[in-house]
Structure 1
Amino acid sequence: MQSLNLGILAHVDAGKTSLTERLLYTAGVIDRVGSVDDGSTTTDSLALERQRGITIKSAVVSFTLGGRTVNLIDTPGHPDFIAEVERVLGVLDGAVLVVSGVEGVQPQTRILLRTLRRLRIPTLIFVNKLDRRGADLDRTVADIRARLTPDVAVMTGAEGQGTRRARAVARPAGDPALRADLLDVLTGHDEELLAAWAADESAVSDARLRGALADQTARCLVHPVHAGSAVTGAGVDALVTGLRELLPAPAGDPDGPVSGSVFKVERGPAGERVTYVRLASGTIRTRDRLPVLRAGRAAGEGKVTAIGVFDQGTEARADAVGAGRIARLWGLGDVRIGDTLGVPSPQASPEHHFAPPTLETVVAARRPADRGRLHTALTLLAEQDPLINLRRDEMRQEVAVSLYGEVQKEVIQATLAGEFGVEAVFHGTTTLHIERPAGTGAAFEVKEKDGNPFLATVGLRIDPAPPGSGAEFRREVELGSLPYAFFKAVEETVAETLRQGLHGWQVTDCVVTMTHSGYNARQSHAHAVFDKSMSSTSGDFRNLTPLVLMTALRRAGTRVYEPMHRFRLDVPADALGVVLPALGRLEAVPRTQAPKGGGYVVEGDIPAARVHGLEQRLPTLTGGEGVLETAFDHWAEVRGPLPGRPRTDADPLNRKEYLLQVQRRLSGIGAGS
């Protein structure tokens, strides 16, 4: 049976989870529609989700539709949990973007559709809440065309809007108004259709239009718009028909090589690791040994001990799972989100689809005795959300986590208390910065010379790279000049060292090249006992690399950058005169301002650290009528005093202190190998 992995996405409170419930009810999977307010929905299974009435973690539930198994993936709508949405995008065959018929297009809606179009994920739009007071389908469609995309085909009308009797009216295939709308949008992407229409409009059949609509929907050129109410069920049958007829079946050869992407990791009741995988090719069976790729490189292998597949709203154990399906796998050990099982998929993309976290907070246990439990708990949470990006300060006995916003911080705090029994306190929130090399710098140290106490020779050069390229490690020395384990030790230590640059921030957009290498081969006593005092170990390379790399970085110099958001601000005309000076005081830079209705739309850039301040001032500045949208846009170089962040370990820039710290550590645990 064919399958379809379908994502439900929306701005928070647009009705995404309610639509998921209604689809499951329509498919006969559940016999009662759950309520977000009552905490009785199928996909919001976490106690915290039911308590807060928001989706925090993505959830998978399945049903059968027109001979296809649909794996429906409900995703968070709150921007603080955008990382959870990002992990789901790579496994989708299609999506439904939910837009509130009352509030219209909202900030997250724009970000989501922009990303779906960039990734070419076929997307239907569902205008929800037609039964709510203030609902207006025509106004919402105009908003979609103006602020999302003009490439939409409206498939339903509405009657009785704003009341519980609201219903969606499907536009029949032969409706002249629908034909005119379809021709208008479809001919913009199909020259043959345009030519046929220009030659003889009557020769373009309704069947041809329907085929063109399906084709352009599959290519993410056009987005059919349905409307209704997830609460009452109005319009959902028409949406289901659209899902069945307009979204393509995924390609995938069950007999091909195994290729699957890991998009979620969780712990089972007994603490076992459970891996969610979308299989693009091949078939996975129990007891299979699967190679694991991380960032395109081998990262070991795992043995599948059990398989769970989603079937009619529940999970069932299976002996095998084939291409196109989503499965839960047990037994894979140290597998992380973003890893590939088997061979790389040509569709796989390692790039981030959304902005990285730009906030950081220090987390501490309220009771000193819970420090160890806190770190264990945060480590487990970081398995489920790698962008939490734990940063442990051994010197201050503190742990810092990266965040998208205050709601995420509250959720982490509640999760630590509820699931792990650890009361945590958060010491403020600071803005994350990055460092980029200002130029080229190089350094090297030769074993047993010039005060180098390690049996290792390492030379490194750091060069700037284009913005957004990340950090890359290269070798100019021959691969056979060192044992592979020593090369690996240098590469891993380079990545770790770059987490704290000259000013304490992550160093990115650079290329680090290994230029020198050398080691002492394995030495043994007469009785074949390994002599670590005469033989190089991986520990020698791990301990020397930070000294060499930070010396090279100091010679290159770094520039510090802060996160900038692009903002859009709708304000009444009489408020523009007070809003613009306020933006200046917040270091925002308006780029454009244009009249709209009875007010103005102002767009520009604002430092991420100032966004919260603007949100707090806006109601007073605009009499409660201002509407603000912001999203991360780029990194801007800091002018003036450079912000710094304290180091969390021994500072390689202070050679004497660094070597003392290494010596103390080695004397306590022995040399690494």
Structure 2
Amino acid sequence: MAVDTKSGIALDRVRNIGIMAHIDAGKTTTTERILYYTGRTHKMGEVHEGAATMDWMAQEQERGITITSAATTATWRDFRINIIDTPGHVDFTVEVERSLRVLDGAIALFDAVAGVQPQSETVWRQAERYGVPRIAFINKMDRTGADFFASVQSMIDRLGAHPVPIQLPVGLEEHHRGIVDLVEMRAITWSDDLGTKMETGEIPAELQEQAQEYHHQLIDSVAEFDDELTETYLMDEESVTPEMIRRALRAGTLANKISPVLLGSAFKNKGVQPLLDAVIEYLPSPIDIPPVHGIDPRTEHELSRRPALDEPFSALAFKVMSDPYVGKLTYFRVYSGKLKAGDRVLNTNTGKTERISRILQMHANHREEREEIGAGEIAAGVGLKATTTGDTLATDTEPIKLESMMFPDPVISVAVEPKSKADQDKLGVGLQRLAEEDPTFRVRTDDETGQTLIAGMGELHLEIIVDRL
């Protein structure tokens, strides 16, 4: 089994996931809760207080929305979960595209009152295009008007999805207090505010019949993915074990045939631990996904790389950011082989070699130094001056060029002017830096008027760019 060298975690115990949703479906809150329960943050960040760990740019804390996808590492049940936080606002679709390229699986978050909303539809289609397996979390079950079954139905109607509920709600709206686990056939309720006191017990009498019905539906939905389950089910339904159901759910999810559906209220701290369990049970590890394909830049022949440490090193840079402490940070996903801090890498898009002086694993805005990282890992490198989003990093002896990323053309442009002549150069440098970080943001000078024009994906996009100058 390939072991991630310096942390001793086997690759089958790694999950690279994203949380995708419509704006305000509770994505940052859910991520915050995940970080809290996995022990990465000791106090929960509340979005409405402007204190969320993942939203670390000043503009995000002010607006309460997530703009840049920060990559964060957490640990649950001895599994390492790398979370890429993706923005839900339509102006930042490029951030979502960018992160889907490097994810193995995703949590699709829906609002229990609104069901599938327009941006959740866009993001779902993007995930479909990249073949990213998903589990769904129906959030905000404590809200007035929350309807789990209508939300599941909207996944079928609006997305053409194949949702398979693996939980049912215990109590509705302000009385929502827990879930029925349809795999283990038990109830889980939360009694305290922090959601750390989880109690497991019998399914309430009034829900027994509904639970039985949905338990049968669950087995019916997944039977085709596991032969042993099918045989047992046909011979003696009572002998079907939770382990068989979980195995079939995993197989169906990895094949992109179904999406297990869970529920809860992240804000009220209900349902987050079972969601983490589901990430581990049903979403792929780096070794569950097919090898990546690329071309040999010297011969143009097609190559593929397995997610193994004994393969030659290859990685994809998926985000460039400037950091106040270390300068330019390049986030990358390692697909094969391993990389040590201080190694020289070849950028197969530019043909230049560069030295990665430090490797950092990010926890929203804290960081941990790593001496070495391997296949399946996500980290940020310091020292890559000529590398931009979508570039492949490889060894110069066995180079590979992975497929780059596609970015849409800007839809809106405005003219910007410096406050004074003296600021002209500063403005140019600042805009150039931001254009490097964000491929959908373009800068040009109008030949006739001499004005500086900036173009982007929408008004909010440009407003935030100008704020960041």
Conserved 8 A contact 1:30-1:313 = no
How far is the alpha carbon of 1:150 from its aligned partner?
Answer: 4.0
1:152 aligns with 2:163: yes
Q: Which residue of 2 aligns with 1:182?
A: 218
Per-residue deviation, 1:203: 8.8
Alignment match, 1:101: 112
1:246 aligns with 2:246: no
Given candidates 309, 328, 331, the residue that maps to 2:361 is: 309
Change (3 A) 1:167 1:313: farther
1:376 to 429, 442, 449: 429
Identity of aligned residues (%): 33
Partner of 2:200: none
Please state whether the residue corresponding to 1:97 is helix, strand or coil.
Answer: strand
Residue 240 of structure 2 is aligned with which of 184, 199, 205?
205
Rg larger for: 1
1:173 paired with 2:228, answer no
Matched, 1:24 2:35: yes
Match of 2:313 in 1: 258
2:445 counterpart letter in structure 1: R
CA contact 1:11–1:108 (8 Å) conserved in 2 = yes
**Structure 1: 5+ residue stretches without partners:** 417-673
Distance 1:22 1:348 in 2: 35
Opposite residue 334 of structure 2, the aligned amino acid is: L
Q: Report what 1:570 is aligned to.
A: none
Q: Distance in 2 between matches of 1:135 and 1:345?
A: 52
In structure 2, the residue matched to 1:214 is 250
TM-score computed with the length of structure 1 as normaliser: 0.57
- Say if 2:86 is the partner of 1:75: yes
Aligned to 1:91: 102
Give yes or no for the alignment of 1:267 onto 2:322: yes
- Is contact 2:408–2:440 with CA below 8 Å preserved after alignment? no
Counterpart for residue 264 of structure 2: 228
Offset, 1:194: 10
Deviation sequence 1:31-59 (CA, Å, 0-9, x none):
22111110111111111111111111111
TM-superposition CA deviations, 1:81-138 (whole Å, max 9, x none): 1111111111111111110011111001111112212211111111000111221111
Which 5+ residue runs of structure 2 have no aligned equivalent? 1-8, 186-210, 288-306
- Distance in 1, matches of 2:161 and 2:370, equals 45
Q: 1:63 to 1:313 in 2, by over 3 A?
A: farther
CA distance in 2, matches of 1:375, 1:204: 69
In the alignment, which residue of structure 2 is the partner of 1:525? none
Contact 1:214 1:245 in 2 (8 A): yes
Cα distance in 2, alignment partners of residues 198 and 267 from structure 1: 56
* CA deviation vs aligned residue, 1:545-586 (integer Å, no higher than 9, x gap): xxxxxxxxxxxxxxxxxxxxxxxxxxxxxxxxxxxxxxxxxx
Question: SS at 1:332's partner residue?
Answer: coil
Change (3 A) 1:59 1:351: closer
Distance 1:120 1:193 in 2: 27
- What's the counterpart of residue 383 of structure 2? 331
Q: Are 1:121 and 2:132 matched, yes or no?
A: yes
The 1:204–1:357 alpha-carbon spacing in structure 2 relative to 1, beyond 3 Å, is: farther
Residue type of the partner of 1:202? E
Q: CA deviation at 1:318?
A: 1.9
Tell me, in whole angstroms, the C-alpha distance in 1 between the residues paired with 2:460 and 2:364.
33
Partner of 1:479: none
What CA distance in whole angstroms lies between the structure 2 residues aligned with 1:336 and 1:313? 21
Q: Deviations over 1:203-262 (max 9, x none)?
A: 983343321111111122211111000111111121111112111221221222111110
The answer as to 2:418 corresponding to 1:365 is yes
Is the 2:113–2:140 contact (alpha carbons within 8 Å) kept by the matching residues of 1?
yes
In structure 1, the partner of 2:346 is 291
Q: 1:221 to 1:279 in 2, by over 3 A?
A: same
List per-residue Cα deviations over 1:349-402 (Å, max 9, x = no partner): 4353x7543222232224343222211111010111011122233553222222
1:487-566 counterparts in 2 under 5 A? none
Are 1:63 and 1:313, in contact at CA under 8 Å, matched by a contact in 2? Answer: no
Q: Which residue number in structure 2 is paired with residue 38 of structure 1?
A: 49
> For the residues of structure 1 that align with 2:175 and 2:144, how far apart are their CA atoms?
9
Q: More displaced, 56-65 or 307-316?
A: 307-316
8 A contact 2:348–2:401 mirrored in 1: no
**Distance change in 2, residues 1:345/1:302 (3 Å):** closer
Of 21, 24, 41 in structure 2, the residue corresponding to residue 13 of structure 1 is 24
Contact 2:73–2:361 (8 Å) recurs in 1: no
Change (3 A) 1:184 1:172: closer
Asked if 1 retains the 8 angstrom alpha-carbon contact of 2:169 and 2:176, the reply is: no
Alignment match, 2:372 = 320
Amino acid at match of 1:267: S
One-letter amino acid of the structure 1 residue matched with residue 166 of structure 2:
M
Greater relative CO, 1 or 2 (CA 8 Å, sep 6+):
2
**For residue 139 of structure 1, what is the amino acid of its counterpart?**
A
User: 2:333 — aligned with what?
Assistant: 278
Q: Does 1:350 align with 2:404?
A: yes
Deviations 1:600-648 (A, max 9, x none): xxxxxxxxxxxxxxxxxxxxxxxxxxxxxxxxxxxxxxxxxxxxxxxxx
Q: Whole-Å Cα distance in 2 between the matches of residues 401 and 43 of structure 1? A: 27
Q: Deviation at 1:310?
A: 3.7
What SS is found at the alignment partner of 1:49? helix
The amino acid across from 2:147 in the alignment is D
| C-alpha contact (below 8 Å) 2:348/2:399 kept by paired residues | no
Equivalence for 1:131? 142
Q: Which deviations, in whole Å up to 9, do the C-alpha atoms of 1:324-369 show, x marking residues without a partner?
A: 11111111111100000006999954353x7543222232224343
**Deviation of residue 165 (structure 1)?**
4.5
Shift of 1:193: 7.8
Distance 1:302 1:201, change over 3 A: same
SS of equivalent to 1:241 = helix
Q: How does 1:459-498 map to 2 (within 5 A)?
A: none
**Counterparts of residues 377-396 of structure 1 (less than 5 Å):** 377-396=430-449
Structure 1 residue 287: deviation in Å?
1.9
